[in-house]
Amino acid sequence: MRTYATFGGVRNWVFVRVETAEGLYGWGEASMELWHGTMRAAIEELGARLVGMDALASERVWQVATRHGFWRGGAVLASAVAAIDQALWDIRGKFFQTPVYRLLGGPTREWVETYRHAGIYDPDDLQADARALVDRGVRTIKTGAWVSDSVLTETERLRRVRSRMEGIRAAVGDDVDILVDYHGRATPDEAIRLIQAIAEFRPRWVEEPIAPESPELIADVTAEAHRHGISIALGERLFSRWDFRTVLERQLIDVAQPDLCHAGGITETMKIASLADLYRVQMAPHNPAGPVSTAAAAHVAMAISNFSILEQCIDEPRWSQIVAEPWSREGSRLLVPDLPGLGVDLDVNALKAVPPAEMVVPSAAFRADGSVADV
């Protein structure tokens, strides 16, 4: 197990390369904002306990990694398992000389539909970003998560959100889907008022309107969203099928968003997808990370029947600098190559050439009175 951390242009990316005695290797990713050092240590410590196991026995390795440490779950441990699990699936595909999605039962589709971000960190760029993406063929755009709004009163926050939604809808027209991410910042009652404020601009979904610690509190929010024909998406901070169980069984969400870097990797995400399918919930993997995360999510997307759309952040020039062979894109379509394993290889020297950097993504939020707010 060898880990690498490098600056990706916006976030730090954390990768693991798992090598076998027979000379095969696989790549995994567990990029987590603010915690690249912690993630490297967790992967290396967990990985040391797994050395000597059968690299093709990904389910058994997942079970040992998850259950034999006594302490289970949580973002860090689940992410360490996820990175190693991705790498083992990469190895499995290379061993059998076939793409991972074929081993998962695919393909169920010809390409993976993606969406991109506009004005996430600077709302002043929202309309220009959105128009540029549409000009390049992107058909779904996500915005929101504006940390700087935390100091405002609720009335002013909602007024600005409404104004921005009006602007982006005017910029992209009626045929482009708009997604709104609220980063779990609202109380349930504020989330209801948020939906009422933006409903006329026809967002496809509102993502994580309330904090993930008590997702059952989203029931009234979901009911209000459905009255306006808006879906509720949630799940980037849920890390297992057990975490998703409540919102799925109570039919509180329309879109599940597990992150392949954090939700136990390919092995666990496939199980989450199967559970979600019982309730006709669509899968839209959370994926603001690097190329290995994107590859793992894309292979899952190719194989499952209830896939909807994949988040993608192409941070250039770092993406092209570290990837040996880029994947093809056609507008909003990501084409998964017919290559063994995950189909992505990284340049180790390029990873080493650029160390991790201080966090660029906003990582602090406060109210006007100085009290702490959610980022």
Q: What angle in degrees, to the nearest 10, is found between the helix axes of 291-303 and 265-278?
A: 40
Look-up of token digits 């999510």: 297
Residue 189 CA from chain centroid, whole number: 26
Distances in whole angstroms, Cα of residue 155 to Cα of each of 54, 121, 187 = 57, 21, 14
CA distance 338 to 329: 14
Give kind and range of the element (H or E) at residue 38. helix 36-50
Q: Is 183 part of the annotated catalytic residue set?
A: yes
Q: Is 226 part of the annotated catalytic residue set?
A: no
183, 226, 228, 299: the catalytic one is 183
CA distance 137 to 327: 17
341 torsion bin: left (phi>0), alpha (psi -120 to 50), beta (else): left
Q: Under a CB-based contact definition with an 8 Å cutoff, are residues 163 and 199 in contact?
A: no
Q: Strand locations in the chain, DSSP E?
A: 2-7, 12-19, 25-29, 112-117, 140-144, 177-181, 205-207, 231-234, 255-256, 282-283, 310-311, 328-330, 333-335
117, 262, 286, 299: the catalytic one is 286
Alpha helix (H) residue ranges in 173-317: 188-198, 219-227, 241-249, 265-278, 291-303
Phi, psi angles (nearest 5°) of residue 259: -105, 125
**Catalytic residue IDs:** 183, 286
